[in-house]
Every structure is written in C-alpha cells, then in structure tokens.
Amino acid sequence: MLNQKFFFTIIIVLTALSAWAHYFTHSAGLQFVTAAAAIVMLAALLGRATESVAHYAGERIGGFLNATFGNAAELIIAIFLIKEGLFDMVKASITGSIIGNLLLVLGLSVIAGGLKFKQQRFNPLLAGHNSSLMLLAVISLFVPAVFLKNLEPAQNNELSLIISGLLIIAYILWLVFSMITHKTELADQAAVEDEEAGHQWSKGLSVLILVVATGFVAITSEWLVHSIEAVAHSLGWSEIFVGAFVIAIVGNAAEHSAAILMALKNKIGTSVEIAVGSSLQIALFVAPTLVFISLLFGKQMNLVFSTVELAAIAVGAFIASSISRDGSTNWYEGVLLLVVYIILGSAFYFI
C-alpha cells in the first residue's frame, strides 16, 4: 500500500510540475523534460491498469483496450495538428506510430521477455490474421500515392474518402470477427495466468484508472507537442523526423510500458496484441478517421503519403510479419526489430 501511495504521489507531483512549466514558464526545454517525465509515469500507471483489466476481461480484450487508450493520445495530438493545417506532420506521426509499435514496442517486448524466458509462444492463427491486416494497411496507403499523378486533387481526395470508409468498415468487422464470432479460435492458449496477488484493483476501479490515466496522457502529450517544436529547432531536427520518431515515441509511451510488462510476465500474446494491434488500429482506423475529421475544419487531409513514409511502413510491416508469423518469439528476433527501427530512424534523421 505504501508503494502504491508513493507511486501515485510521484505521478501527481510530475504532472503538476509539467502543468506549471507549461503555463508559467517560457522554457521549452523545461516544458519538454517535465512533460516527458510525467508521460512516462502515467504510462506506467496505464500499464498497471491494463494488466488489471486484462485479469478480469481476458488477455486479448486487455491488449485491445491498451492499444485503444494508448492511441487516444495520438489521435488527440493529431486533431490539434490538423486544426493547424499541419497535414505533413500528421502523416509523419502516423508513420512513426505504425513503425514505432511494430518495431520499437514489439522489439523491446520480445527482448525483455526473451531474456527471461528462452522462447515465448502465442496463437499462430492470430499472428496470421495480423499479417494479412498489415498487408491490407500497406496496400491501402500505397494506392493513393501510386495513382497520384493520374488523378486530379479533388479526385484524390474522393479516393481517400472511399479508402478511409472501407478501412474503417474492415477494422470494425475485424473486431466482430476476433472478439465475437471467432473469439475462442483466436484466444491466446499459451498465455500463462498470473496468480500473484498483484490485482488489488476492482474491475470498476481498473477501468476508471485506465480512463483517467489516458486523459492525463493526452493532456501532457499536448503540452509536450507545444514544446517539442522549439526543442527540435534548437537541435536542428527536421519536421519529418520530429513527427515520425519524437512525437511517435512519446505517443507510444503507454504501449511501451504495458507491452514490456506483459512480456516479462510471459504473456507475449498480450504484448503482440498491444504492439501489432495498435499499429493496425492506427492504419485501419485512426488514419482514416482523421481524414473525415479534417472535413470538420474546412480542408480535407488525403491519404497520400511520401515515398519514404510508405517505404518505412512497408519495411516495418514486412519484418514484423516475418518474425511473428510462426507464433513464437525469442530475444534475438527482438534485436532484429530494433536494428530495423534504428536504421529507419537514422535515414529519417538525415532527410
């Protein structure tokens, strides 16, 4: 109980410091550091709440909830960017979120779990479906870019709306398929139940903490975005690097802690659901939803991504699919994912 009180005290103090830095100081560096520290601790709280929810609702639903609540911060940040007309920054952050989850989050989780357990297994049928969905995401983002030269801007916007609508429908039907009609077949039979007395929170309290923590992650993430531009400018970082890696890493903080925590408990199936599921949610639901949301601000965002962004997404989807398709992981596969992520990060840095 004492540890919990200390944990919550740190979160409150760091969040308060971040608010003070944002509203009462003009130091972008201080705002960035305090916001980042607050997000890290809030992400840890989000991970514990997700673990508790998963204990009551099941591994897959727990992973889905974490991916959803984790992406809520990114969605809110993207809406603010769209309001400012920063469509390129939005697309870069979408790219960074997809490859960040597929390579960084999954890679760190696989390494953490692999160092503790020689081999970890999860449902290979689920891995196969995830691979198919990742392929759909890549195809849907490639099509508008490929046909760009043959279409008028208005036609490309219409094509983006059609593709966005179809992706949202496909994602909703995937939820019906995986959570209802084929729930048993896609269950993670290899998951090891955690019998420790670590689930002190009731179901209602766990959900409440999950919602509240997500809200504060979204708020502090917005504060961080306001400071990151000044910090990036002082460091000489490009806009695409900031969007694809800096903002994406911060936005994925919640998934980082939760996925690694689950892997350390030999629940790699939940880690995969958080990492891969979050990427799929970004590509099949969040990005298309942002296209429709942009209409509310009077100027539509399309789904035409740059060549380097498409290449990064395709590479990330390919290596993640190759590694996870057999339903088993080891620490070296995690290293491979991180190596690809660092390679892409280095390439974006020099653009």
Domain range summary for the chain, segments of one domain joined by +: 2-192+200-349
Q: Please state, rounded to an integer, the average pLDDT across all residues of the chain.
A: 82
In the prediction, which pLDDT does 231 show? 79
pLDDT at 199 over 60: no
pLDDT at 351 over 70: yes
In the prediction, which pLDDT does 89 show? 80
In the prediction, which pLDDT does 2 show? 47
**334 CB burial (10 A radius; 0-12, 13-18, 19+):** buried
Comparing 9-13, 76-80, 244-248, the range with the smallest average pLDDT is 244-248
In the prediction, which pLDDT does 232 show? 76
pLDDT at 252 over 90: no
pLDDT at 194 over 60: no
In the prediction, which pLDDT does 60 show? 66
Asked if 156 and 148 count as a contact pair (C-beta separation under 8 A), the reply is yes
In the prediction, which pLDDT does 93 show? 82
| Tens-place pLDDT, residues 90-141 | 888 888 888 888 898 899 999 999 998 888 888 878 778 888 888 888 888 8
In the prediction, which pLDDT does 163 show? 92
pLDDT at 158 over 70: yes
**65 CB burial (10 A radius; 0-12, 13-18, 19+):** buried
Question: Does the CA dihedral 222-91-168-69 come out positive or negative?
Answer: negative
Higher pLDDT residue, 48 or 252? 48
Comparing 152-161, 193-202, 251-260, the range with the smallest average pLDDT is 193-202
pLDDT at 198 over 50: no
In the prediction, which pLDDT does 254 show? 61
Average pLDDT over residues 213-224: 81
In the prediction, which pLDDT does 234 show? 80
Task: For the domain covering 2-192+200-349, report its CATH number.
Answer: 1.20.1420.30
Higher pLDDT residue, 235 or 108? 108
In the prediction, which pLDDT does 293 show? 92
pLDDT at 255 over 80: no
In the prediction, which pLDDT does 249 show? 74
Neighbouring CB atoms inside 10 A of 184's CB total: 7
Asked if 101 and 116 count as a contact pair (C-beta separation under 8 A), the reply is no
Q: In the 3-class helix/strand/coil scheme, how is the chain assigned residue by residue?
A: CHHHHHHHHHHHHHHHHHHHHHHHCCCHHHHHHHHHHHHHHHHHHHHHHHHHHHHHHCHHHHHHHHHHHHHHHHHHHHHHHHHCCCHHHHHHHHHHHHHHHHHHHHHHHHHHHHHHCCCEECCHHHHHHHHHHHHHHHHHHHHHHHCHHHCCHHHHHHHHHHHHHHHHHHHHHHHHHHHHHCCCCCCCCCCCCCCCCCCCCCHHHHHHHHHHHHHHHHHHHHHHHHHHHHHHHHHCCCHHHHHHHHHHHHHCHHHHHHHHHHHHCCCHHHHHHHHHHHHHHHHHHHHHHHHHHHHCCCCCCCCCCCHHHHHHHHHHHHHHHHHHCCCEECHHHHHHHHHHHHHHHHHHHCC
| Tens-place pLDDT, residues 293-347 | 999 888 888 888 888 889 999 998 888 888 877 788 889 999 999 999 999 988 8
pLDDT at 191 over 60: no
pLDDT at 193 over 60: no
What's the whole-model pTM score?
0.80
In the prediction, which pLDDT does 161 show? 92
pLDDT at 292 over 90: yes
